[in-house]
Amino acid sequence: MKFLFPFVLFCGVAFAATAQSPAVADNQTDTGYFYWVRFSDKDSTPGRLDKPQQFLSQRAIERRRRLQIAIDSFDLPVVPSYLDSVRACGARLHNVSKWLNGVTVVADSAIAADIAQLSFVTQVARYNRRRLPVALGGTPDTATKKYGAGTDYSIQPCASHDSSYYNLGYSQIAQLGGIALHRRGYEGQGVWVGVCDGGFPGVDTLSAFKSMRDEGRIVATRDFACHRPTVYTADAHGTMVLSNVGAYLPSVYVATAPKATYVLCITEDATESPIEELNWVSAAEYLDSLGIDVINTSLGYRGFDDTTLRHPFSDLDGKTAWMSIGADIAASRGILCVNSAGNEGREGSGSLSVPADAEHILSVGAAWSNGDRAAFSSWGQTADGRVKPDVMAQGVLVYVSMPGGGYAYANGTSMASPITAGMVACLRQAAPNASVQQIFDAIRASGSNAMHVDNRIGYGVPDYKKALQLLLSPRFPHRQQ
Cα-Cα-Cα-Cα torsion 31, 36, 37, 42, nearest 10 degrees, comes to 130
Task: Indicate the domain borders of the chain.
Answer: 27-129, 143-472
Question: Who's near 412: CB < 8 A, 6+ residues apart?
Answer: 3, 4, 5, 141, 142, 298, 340, 343, 366, 376, 395
Give the Cα separation of 80 and 91 in Å (integer).
15
Q: What per-residue confidence (pLDDT) applies to 270?
A: 79
Check residue 2 and give its pLDDT: 63
Q: Do domains 27-129 and 143-472 have the same CATH topology?
A: no
What pLDDT does residue 362 have?
A: 98
The CATH architecture annotation of domain 27-129 reads: 2-Layer Sandwich (3.30)
Report yes or no: 334 and 406 within 8 Å, Cβ to Cβ.
Answer: no
- Asked if 374 and 367 count as a contact pair (C-beta separation under 8 A), the reply is yes
What pLDDT does 14 receive? 32
- Residue ranges of the chain with pLDDT lower than 50? 4-29, 131-157, 479-481
Residue 22 has what pLDDT?
Answer: 39
C-alpha to C-alpha distance for 456 and 278, rounded to whole angstroms: 28
Residue 130 confidence (pLDDT)? 54
Looking at domain 143-472, its CATH superfamily turns out to be: Peptidase S8/S53 domain (3.40.50.200)
Cα angle, residue 203 at apex, residues 202 and 204 outer, rounded to 5° = 90
Are 105 and 37 in contact, with CB atoms under 8 Å apart? yes
The helix/strand/coil state of 291 is coil
What pLDDT, on the 0 to 100 scale, is given for residue 32?
81
